[in-house]
Amino acid sequence: MSLTFFQRGLAAYTVAGGLTFIAAGSAWAFDLPKGVVQGPSVEGITEYRLPNGLKVLLFPDASRPTVTVNVTYLVGSRHENYGETGMAHLLEHL
């Protein structure tokens, strides 16, 4: 099954939101979902790696009742070869 760009983004938001509850739940004892690996924690920021390779960084802020999600895709013009310049910019608008 191939996911669309929107579906992948929605899945990332859902996972990040779920992991936020795990990170914020120091009073609760949660197990990580199957396949999720917890990485290092530095100054309150915890890294998780999902089975599909997505890296999630959680920075809980108990002073806010909301969740903010930023998604960065490590692709773009840096990965273009000769004759492909501008392709990342074009695909960004599709």
- Do the Cβ atoms of 48 and 38 come closer than 8 Å? yes
Q: Which domain holds residue 45?
A: 37-93
**From CA 57, how far away is CA 49, in angstroms rounded?**
9
Position 65 in a domain: yes
**What total of structural domains would you count in the chain?**
1
pLDDT at 25 over 60: no
Answer whether residue 55 is part of any domain.
yes
On whether the CB atoms of residues 47 and 39 are closer than 8 A, the answer is yes
Residue 83 has pLDDT above 70, yes or no: yes
Average pLDDT over every residue of 1-5: 61
Residue 13 in any domain: the answer is: no
- Flag whether 72 is in a domain: yes
Task: Note the pLDDT tens digit of each residue in 29-75.
Answer: 578 889 999 999 898 888 898 998 888 888 888 898 887 877 777 76
